[in-house]
Structure 1
């Protein structure tokens, strides 16, 4: 039954890698409900975050603006009081708005009303990882009073989301559900999953990049079971939410979007879990179902989660404000051949002052050597740091920066990065080339046909006098 304007629900996880979902090839069956959601709507197969740090990514998703544009370029900076969020835009269009879960855009706990981004109904914590653990979930209501929710933490938040939908089923509503899973529990540096879930997945699968890099350090073998167990339980909660919407006859009238703030490289790229240029940090799951999102559509173009806010507004028939720097991908839903930019742009802070452009094939990364990732939002001088050919090196293990053979590629990406930085409102900057390197090319000493192969050994050789086995 159509009710006119669609409801909108955003399910937002914390630190979830893109390759944990079945539609991206994960073999463990972790996400059957996300996979069904993706097949029932639009799956964005190359979704990336505009910032692989918690607060900046959240500010971007609330406002549709780059972290440097909102001023929230690192953790610890509250969202400005005059920032216009999705809550403001949906409320202006007559929607009831609600927020449940982790906020991380305020400067105190509980979050005061003026720092809640315009959300009317509130049940949240600024730092949910600090006010709760796996089976002790405490958040704060609109009055700032603590509320303890029963059950495993992600279950408790999905239960609250179901209650919100039931309470507001007769009016158009917009709900942002912000989970902490599969983020680590900070004070323990572990990934607490429900009983039996970590054991179910420990040792069964390892992303190839982590398998290749874990010998150099990191925690993937220690933490992967709990991490995957959390994702499995989150997906079960998603299924219960979708079932609840179906039982209230709301599912076909509700836009449901699912994504994450960033991924995790499990300390294999630096000393913590994200804050790097690699897809392990930047690439996230993203799928949207509901009115306006054609079933079975897969978008392979690079798309930023910065593009999700204008997409949701446009799909709900709400005017997209001019100040949003993201771009609605609804035209791609209608026509996959529609005009679209060939790259996404990302900013990296805290660990460095870095910038990234990613196309379907290439990743180009620069770092400001004279800037501090905590104190400096941007810089005027960067140096090429990484270039990856994602078609032939999808796990970013072979850095091509500085190779003369790839100079033309680097120059093209350099121009793209500078253009996108300017469009984001950053100050004019220069990018210095990486020091030139001479690659150790693989050589074939002799051809197979018609050349002397004396002394050339390829793997195991049969003993003299014995014919080779068939």
Structure 2
């Protein structure tokens, strides 16, 4: 048991401070929303590296995602959902805590989210929920003295599971056809076949067993993260690379590579769409769809050769924007509602708590947008989501052209600066493929100054000093992996 220094009752929860980190203690009688509308179940489906552009409902005519398209037509759909730090571990830790990476400390892959962090599962568990996690975890990490990636294949100890009780997870794997996991008792099991499908079956089993009890379930799939050509054959056969259209910002010299990888990427997407359909059908069979908040999203996107670049960490939309569907018939109805307001992944936890009628701890830095989702308020139009890359690493390390940056994504504009100067400015309404950088261009000075002011306010709110990468690595006692620390001047 962790020592509690201060208790402050908030509704059915007690928020407690543990050495400066707030925790939530469980009240024996957590409040329900009402007799007619009991506390909703919560299901989060998180794909890995699925960009916002690669879905049918988003206007993509090549990719086949019929189940998610149908879900979108009955849900709230965000077109500007932003990954605060568009790479695996930082994004996942922010989603679990509702905090910026420089607050929770996971701003570099494979670094552990501290036990003291107050997380989604702990809050819901202490509000009386059953909690479950299935799939990719990637916030346990390895000790600085250990070999790089050493934690990826070993069990996550019970006290490192951040409040999730039902446990069928593994730190990281991208071998989706030869995948294993550890259960609640640290026993190792194999996922038969393409792991997305048995993982989804496990999620369905969890739903069936808890249909009479409020539950929080987190289902974290590994695809469509590369390797791209490993989806089941019947899904790969659906896509002929030569027939796929590319985004206008993919260089002509990379056309052949891009189409080949895109075919495999789309095959993964369609396989995941099938699994999402199975899960939604199970919710209906169990009779709990109406009172379940179902979220579909991703940790970050994939450049997929746009601007000649690969995968994530970059500040362009293909990397930063993610899909986000929130389906909750009991409160949000079953008509599609499109919201262009920027929504960060640090906003998901407070918004879920708001929809669930659970008080939001002060440790949460995101914004509760419940009133926007329910239509009680409209976006002001000046919202902006902060984008941070405190430390570039691995594929985007300094020697590969990586740089520290901070930026904002509004409903219309992208503005980014590095340590030295303003770097990128796009009018995404006029230039949706971000082909014309307006930094220093005639007529853009006033806009740049306005967005710079917004960025500085967001940095102040986040208590982000925007320092060089080495400073943050030193403060947190982290060591660079491999050649990540080699800065190119």
With normalisation by structure 1, the TM-score equals 0.83
Deviates more, 1:285-294 or 1:97-106: 285-294
What are the ranges of 5 or more consecutive residues in structure 2 without an aligned counterpart?
1-34, 142-150, 393-401, 469-489
User: Given the alignment, which residue of 229, 232, 239 partners 1:191?
Assistant: 229
Mapped to 1, the partners of 2:162 and 2:360 lie a distance apart of: 17
- Give the match for residue 180 of structure 2: 138
Mapped to 1, the partners of 2:248 and 2:403 lie a distance apart of: 21
User: Given the alignment, which residue of 412, 425, 428 partners 1:387?
Assistant: 425
User: Given the alignment, which residue of 16, 38, 50 partners 1:16?
Assistant: 50
1:261 equivalenced with 2:261 (yes/no): no
Conserved in 1, the CA contact under 8 Å of 2:67 and 2:276? Answer: yes
Q: Taking structure 1 as reference, are residues 5 and 282 closer, same or farther at Cα in structure 2, changes over 3 Å only?
A: same
Mapped to 1, the partners of 2:248 and 2:365 lie a distance apart of: 32
User: Given the alignment, which residue of 342, 362, 372 partners 1:332?
Assistant: 372
Q: Taking structure 1 as reference, are residues 313 and 209 closer, same or farther at Cα in structure 2, changes over 3 Å only?
A: farther
- Give the match for residue 321 of structure 1: 361
CA drift at 1:347: 0.8
Q: Taking structure 1 as reference, are residues 15 and 297 closer, same or farther at Cα in structure 2, changes over 3 Å only?
A: same
**Match of 1:180, SS?**
strand
- The CA deviation string for residues 276-302 of structure 1, in whole angstroms up to 9 with x for no partner, is 110000011101111322332111212
Q: Taking structure 1 as reference, are residues 256 and 208 closer, same or farther at Cα in structure 2, changes over 3 Å only?
A: same
1:179 equivalenced with 2:221 (yes/no): yes
User: Given the alignment, which residue of 39, 44, 54 partners 1:5?
Assistant: 39
Mapped to 1, the partners of 2:256 and 2:354 lie a distance apart of: 42
CA drift at 1:214: 5.0
CA drift at 1:6: 1.1
User: Given the alignment, which residue of 120, 123, 129 partners 1:95?
Assistant: 129
Mapped to 2, the partners of 1:214 and 1:151 lie a distance apart of: 37
Mapped to 1, the partners of 2:414 and 2:129 lie a distance apart of: 39
**Match of 1:26, SS?**
coil
Larger Rg: 1
Deviates more, 1:214-223 or 1:160-169: 214-223
**Match of 1:101, SS?**
strand
- Give the match for residue 74 of structure 2: 40
1:206 equivalenced with 2:245 (yes/no): yes
**Match of 1:43, SS?**
strand
- What's the RMSD between the two structures over aligned residues? 2.1
- Give the match for residue 73 of structure 1: 107
- Give the match for residue 209 of structure 2: 167
User: Given the alignment, which residue of 304, 315, 320 partners 1:282?
Assistant: 320
With normalisation by structure 2, the TM-score equals 0.80
Conserved in 1, the CA contact under 8 Å of 2:43 and 2:292? Answer: yes
- The CA deviation string for residues 182-214 of structure 1, in whole angstroms up to 9 with x for no partner, is 0013xxxx431111322322323334145x325
* 1:293-304 paired onto structure 2 within 5 Å: 293-295=332-334, 296-304=336-344
Mapped to 2, the partners of 1:75 and 1:267 lie a distance apart of: 22
User: Given the alignment, which residue of 158, 163, 167 partners 1:118?
Assistant: 163
Mapped to 2, the partners of 1:214 and 1:120 lie a distance apart of: 50
Q: Taking structure 1 as reference, are residues 21 and 219 closer, same or farther at Cα in structure 2, changes over 3 Å only?
A: same
- Give the match for residue 65 of structure 2: 31
What are the ranges of 5 or more consecutive residues in structure 1 without an aligned counterpart?
369-381, 431-470
- The CA deviation string for residues 73-125 of structure 1, in whole angstroms up to 9 with x for no partner, is 11021101100110011011100111101010012221111221221121101
CA drift at 1:25: 0.7
* 1:348-387 paired onto structure 2 within 5 Å: 348=389, 349-350=391-392, 351-368=402-419, 382-387=420-425
Mapped to 2, the partners of 1:87 and 1:102 lie a distance apart of: 16
Q: Taking structure 1 as reference, are residues 409 and 201 closer, same or farther at Cα in structure 2, changes over 3 Å only?
A: same
* 1:304-319 paired onto structure 2 within 5 Å: 304-319=344-359
Q: Taking structure 1 as reference, are residues 218 and 406 closer, same or farther at Cα in structure 2, changes over 3 Å only?
A: farther
Mapped to 2, the partners of 1:402 and 1:289 lie a distance apart of: 42
Mapped to 1, the partners of 2:355 and 2:273 lie a distance apart of: 24
- Give the match for residue 435 of structure 2: 397
Mapped to 1, the partners of 2:255 and 2:64 lie a distance apart of: 26
* 1:227-246 paired onto structure 2 within 5 Å: 227-246=265-284
CA drift at 1:308: 1.0
Conserved in 2, the CA contact under 8 Å of 1:99 and 1:121? Answer: yes
User: Given the alignment, which residue of 343, 350, 357 partners 2:384?
Assistant: 343
- The CA deviation string for residues 25-54 of structure 1, in whole angstroms up to 9 with x for no partner, is 111362222122222121112111111110
Mapped to 1, the partners of 2:293 and 2:425 lie a distance apart of: 37
Conserved in 2, the CA contact under 8 Å of 1:313 and 1:320? Answer: yes
CA drift at 1:261: 0.5
